[in-house]
């Protein structure tokens, strides 16, 4: 019988959970509210209930569940797994997360595995996604901010005290002041969805022409998606902004080649809806800056698993860490 694990993808609004088999197939999928406003105990209770609901939904007994994997945003200080930073679920900060969830599940012998959401997504992509058969991969998650996950030689790389793979905090514009990310000059502050929308607003303020100008001036909510759509429809300013973001993402990929010599860079998150209009300038920049050996071999792709990467990767880590086949370090 196939080995099974429960994967839990903890977000600021929702908890997604599902039973996943050892081929990475999702057998059930449920969603529960996170309710961070109700405090830490409630969040932990909700996680345990989501795991239980996923199991019930898949109609499998607990004895078939090899472990529970939990992917969560934030920085966890290892080896204890203390939550150092969790911007969307502040109530978790300063406390351990893995042990309390394990206690709330209250199943003897059942282990909970915890990792950063981008790490588990990176793991999922090497397991059954865009990086299948690859051992060494950098994942960039493009959304409000830019997160990252690294898989080196088939294992999630967490670094000395759990703060590695913050790929959006690479410094690519050293002379810029500190902005939203807190790291002066960070990639996140020039190439995230937030940064893209910010650049558009600045350009409109500077009276640059764009079909989005009227909406910006009217104070309408503009998303990165709007900018991609305008760029695809021929808006020159929007196309320039997308190219600029892509250029800096390409610099980020080049750094991953020069520093780590990854085989593959994968982009995930909302911004990948842009499609080739974003992928093209990324690839062009890598062609300009990377060593011939690297730029010839490297693959630069979008995530294959999309929103399921967190759930699948969390379950995968739970399955493989227990089995000792693949681990985290």
Residues that bind its own copies (CB under 8 A): 75, 77, 84, 135-136, 148, 150, 152-153, 157-167, 169-174, 183-185, 247-248, 251, 254-263, 288-291, 293-294, 297, 329
Query: Which helix (DSSP H) or strand (DSSP E) does residue 266 occupy?
Result: strand 264-268
d(CA 311, CA 99): 19
Partners of residue 33 on adjacent β-strands: 14
DSSP 269: S
Partners of residue 155 on adjacent β-strands: 152
Q: CA-based diameter of the chain, in Å?
A: 64
d(CA 26, CA 321): 19
Tokens linked to 293 = 């050996």
d(CA 154, CA 173): 31
d(CA 278, CA 271): 8
d(CA 24, CA 30): 16
Tokens linked to 47 = 């996680």
- Output 255-260 pairs: Cβ under 8 A, ≥24 positions apart: 255/170, 256/138, 256/167, 257/286, 257/290, 257/291, 257/294, 257/295, 257/298, 258/290, 258/291, 258/294, 260/136, 260/138, 260/150, 260/152
Contact 57, 4 (CB under 8 A): no
Packing angle of the helix pair 276-289, 224-232 (nearest 10 deg): 90
Q: Among positive and negative, which fits the CA dihedral 125, 129, 130, 133?
A: positive
Nearest to 107, CA basis, from 49, 43, 63, 45: 63
């Amino acid at each position: 019988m196939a080995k099974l694990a429960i994967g839990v993808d903890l977000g600021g609004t929702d908890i997604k959970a599902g039973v996943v088999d050892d081929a990475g197939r999702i057998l059930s999928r449920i969603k529960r509210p996170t309710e961070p406003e109700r405090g830490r105990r409630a969040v932990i209770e909700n996680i345990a209930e989501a795991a239980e609901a996923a199991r019930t939904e898949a109609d499998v007994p607990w004895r078939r569940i090899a472990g529970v994997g939990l992917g969560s945003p934030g920085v966890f200080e290892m080896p204890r797994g203390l939550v150092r930073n969790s911007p969307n679920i502040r109530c978790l900060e300063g406390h351990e997360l893995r042990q309390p969830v394990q206690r709330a599940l209250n199943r003897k012998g059942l282990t909970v595995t915890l990792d950063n959401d981008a790490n588990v997504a990176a793991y999922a992509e090497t397991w059954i996604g865009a990086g299948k058969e690859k051992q060494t991969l950098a994942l960039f998650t493009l959304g409000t901010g830019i997160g990252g996950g690294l898989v080196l030689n088939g294992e999630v790389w967490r670094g000395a005290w759990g703060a590695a793979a913050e790929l959006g905090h690479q410094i690519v514009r050293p002379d810029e002041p500190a902005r939203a990310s807190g790291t002066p000059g960070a990639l996140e502050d020039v190439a995230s969805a937030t940064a893209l929308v910010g650049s558009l607003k600045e350009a409109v303020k500077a009276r640059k022409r764009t079909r989005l100008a009227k909406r910006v001036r009217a104070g309408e909510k503009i998303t990165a998606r709007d900018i991609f759509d305008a760029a695809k429809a021929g808006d020159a300013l929007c196309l320039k902004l997308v190219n600029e973001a892509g250029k800096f993402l390409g610099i980020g990929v080049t750094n991953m080649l020069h520093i780590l010599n990854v085989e593959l860079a994968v982009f995930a998150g909302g911004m990948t809806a842009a499609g080739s209009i974003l992928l093209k300038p990324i690839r062009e920049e890598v062609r300009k800056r990377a060593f011939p050996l690297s730029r010839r071999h490297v693959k630069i792709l979008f995530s294959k698993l999309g929103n399921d990467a967190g759930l699948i990767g969390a379950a995968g880590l739970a399955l493989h860490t227990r089995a000792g086949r693949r681990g985290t370090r």
